[in-house]
A and B are shown apart, each in its own frame.
Chain A
Amino acid sequence: MGERLGGKDWDEELQMITFIVRRLLGMIPTFLVVSFIVFFIIQLPPSNWIERHIENLALEQGTFTSERHLQLAHELTERYNLDRPYLLQYGSWILNFLRGDMGESFEYGQEVSVLLAKRIPYSIMISLLSLFFVYSIGIPIGIYCALNQNKISDTIATIAGFIGLSIPNFFLALILMVFGLYVLDLPVGGLFSPEYEDAPWSFGKFIDFLQHVWVAVVVIGTAGTAGIIRVVRGNLLDVLGEPYITALRAKGLPEKMVTIKHAVRISINPVITGLGMWLPSLISGETIVSIVMNIPTAGPLLFGALQSEDIYLSGSILMVLCLFLLIGNLLADIALAWFDPRIRYD
């Protein structure tokens, strides 16, 4: 990098770095607001979860003296600062969260961070697989549709895309599960077959994993694919109408070169950098599909935690999902600034 110092490249890099730093600083207020909303929401249920938790413990352990009862209540109050003002409770919660201490799950009797460490990686893996599926199916179909505008194949793809947008995720999951289970005779639901459950990662385990999650990936990806097809098709049609494309054709460049090298490259830029737009629907889809198919990711854990008012568990999962989105948006913005220098001056 030494020889570039002082040159034009250095300027550009500096701009990029200032852009990233500014963007990171901008995330701080967003993070605070988001975390406060999460904290507020998980405390909405009116019942007293301390009482419930202690009653559950009492049921489990049989006899329970009132002394032990009081002591536990005191410990919990101490740990989560429940006797302090609301804002202080929030402050200690979010500081602990950032330090990795997410509290204890009452339902599972474990530290929340331990539970999440097992589940979140699978959530992210399934989301990323879905993203890969969406891009690898959506972009080629979108290009194909634009190049065959208003032909029958374009119309069919458009209608199919609309239908994909219109099927409820959970319904498609049910149908595909029945199809996989009774027609293809494949295992569905869960993540691994029993023999791979505790085995270390290997090629066989990965194949087994794919066999279990393909339904989820297809279901989560379907709606997104329809969206991508539309965007790519529209962009490519716009680009193909630009004067510079006409100029290229006039120069006698083969049609294949014109479309693939010059038009397609420009038209898929917004799709790649629009990652931030697809992430929320991926996460929503992953959540409900995992609940329906009983895949042990963060989704079912969140659902269970919300119902049993396991508030430190549900709060932490919500926070992690929000963080995932914030980071996704950040990466998308950086990618956009990378491709389009005008953004950096904004």
Chain B
Amino acid sequence: MTENQEQGRTIGQLIWRRFRKNKLGVVGGLVVALLFFITVIAPFLATMDIVEQSARHILAPPQKIYFQSEEGEWRRPYVYNLIKHRDPDTLRLMYTEDRSQQFPIRFFVKGLEYRILWLISGRTHLLGVDEGCRWNLLGTDPLGRDLYSRILMGSQVSLSVPLVGVSLSILIGTVIGVISGYLGGRVDHYIQRTIEIMMSFPTLPLWLALAAAIPITLPSAYRYLLIVVILSLIDWGGLARVVRGKVLQYRGEDYVLAARMSGCGLFRIIFKHLVPGTLSHLIVCATLSVPGMILAESALSFLGIGITPPLTSWGMLLKDAHKLEVLVYHHWIMIPGFLIIVAVLSFNFLGDGLRDAADPYS
């Protein structure tokens, strides 16, 4: 590529060209997009009410989906009801299929009313079976609740906490970073010292201490907000440092001087001339701090001091796996763990790809 062609492109195009070359980054980005899409339409995909308990379906395994009738003919996919009983020798829970009636899996069935993004309301769900059958695609938890639906609805918490949290960190980090970098001197010194001290805390013990201080009686929604605040309270320092570094670098550039000479106000200089320059680095840094937040939220919820019912999250679902004897015989309760890994991994790949692409002139 010649110099001229290179110059004819905007910085966005250059970043995109470079990002596209990183295959892992692109795959990560696609998976992240898919995960968020699923999260948004989760209520449409869910098959059951996530709080509905059933004593007859405690730790029921995922139902097998049949594509052939017992005579071997191909038919519309169907499932059987499960019947609970105990193994007479070991007293363990056992489930057998009730072969007397087949329940075909149907598309677009009517069910529980829901809202997507507070806007679209509906009662149609993607999949479902007729009345008289309890279909648990991914099995149930120790209270007999449908794991598939709980995982879907849990993704709304697990993936929105880091998103909201990182937005909050960006806000705090940008404001403080700009102040620190632009004013410099003593203010800068104290801000940097504060950030250093914050970063010298052991994060998890600090999160534990702050989360444990939230009263148990607080409604779920407030608790959710406070958890987000706690997570970004410790996270913004890194972002502020990135912004400060860039502002410090650009502050002395000629174009900023020119802007000041031609009478630009402080705010205009900061938001028009300094902040956009930090944007690409800020986005990279923010993407890379999402994985830490997903892991932190899941750890707190796993320990029981994160999200509280009726909300649920992947970490909270894994609480049931803490009893090893439960985990050993009921593998499906580990599924949320693998989803956490997929989400964190994709964000790491995406962030890594963006980091390499963020500075297209290097």
Contacts and interface: CB of A to CB of B under 8 A. Distances in A.
A-B pairs, top 5 by smallest CB distance, nearest first, are A284-B204, A44-B213, A306-B212, A166-B344, A283-B202
A177 B298 CA distance: 19
Chain A at the B interface: mostly helix, strand, loop or mixed?
A: helix
Contact of A44 (B203, B210, B348): B210
Contacts of B212: 45, 306-307
Contacts of A171: 318, 334, 337, 340-341
A329 interface: yes
A165 B291 contact: yes
A287 B200 contact: no
Interface in A148-172: 159, 162-163, 165-171
Interface string A163-198: 101111111001101100110000000000000000
A174 to B, nearest CB: 6
Contact of B303 (A159, A283, A291): A291
A148 B341 CA distance: 27
Interface stretch (B46-54, B64-72, B322-330): B322-330
Given A168-B295, A175-B337, A292-B322, 7 more contacts: A174-B334, A178-B324, A283-B205, A287-B204, A291-B303, A299-B205, A325-B200
Interface string B300-331: 00110100000000010010011010011000
A162 B213 contact: no
20 contacts: A33-B197, A45-B213, A166-B348, A168-B302, A170-B298, A171-B337, A174-B327, A178-B327, A280-B200, A280-B202, A283-B205, A287-B205, A288-B299, A302-B208, A303-B303, A306-B213, A321-B205, A322-B200, A325-B201, A326-B200
B215 interface: yes
Contacts of A162: 345, 348-349, 352
B252 to A, nearest CB: 22
Contact of A181 (B291, B315, B324, B345): B324
A175 B352 CA distance: 27
A41 B321 contact: no
A214 to B, nearest CB: 17
B30 interface: no
B68 to A, nearest CB: 34
Interface of A: 29-30, 33-34, 37, 41-42, 44-46, 159, 162-163, 165-171, 174-175, 177-178, 181-182, 280-281, 283-285, 287-288, 291-292, 299, 302-303, 306-307, 314, 317-318, 321-322, 325-326, 329
Contacts of A177: 324
Given A41-B210, A171-B340, A280 B201 contact: yes
A260 to B, nearest CB: 29
Nearest to A283: B202
A34 B291 contact: no
Contacts of A288: 204, 299, 303
B34 interface: no
A71 to B, nearest CB: 30
B33 interface: no
Contacts of B328: 178, 182
Contacts of A174: 318, 321-322, 324, 327, 334, 337
A170 B296 CA distance: 11
B183 interface: no
B209 interface: yes
Contact of A322 (B201, B327, B349): B201
B291 A166 contact: yes
B203 A280 contact: yes
B40 to A, nearest CB: 23
A307 B304 CA distance: 10
Contacts of B349: 162
A50 B200 CA distance: 31
A318 B209 CA distance: 9
A325 B345 contact: no
Contacts of B291: 165-166
A37 B206 CA distance: 10
Contacts of A166: 291, 340-341, 344-345, 348
Contacts of A303: 208, 303
A318 B213 CA distance: 14
Nearest to B194: A33
A307 B216 CA distance: 10
B295 A318 contact: no
B228 to A, nearest CB: 17
A326 B196 CA distance: 11
Contacts of A46: 215
Nearest to A189: B324
Contacts of B345: 162-163, 166
Contacts of A167: 341, 344
A298 to B, nearest CB: 9
A302 to B, nearest CB: 6
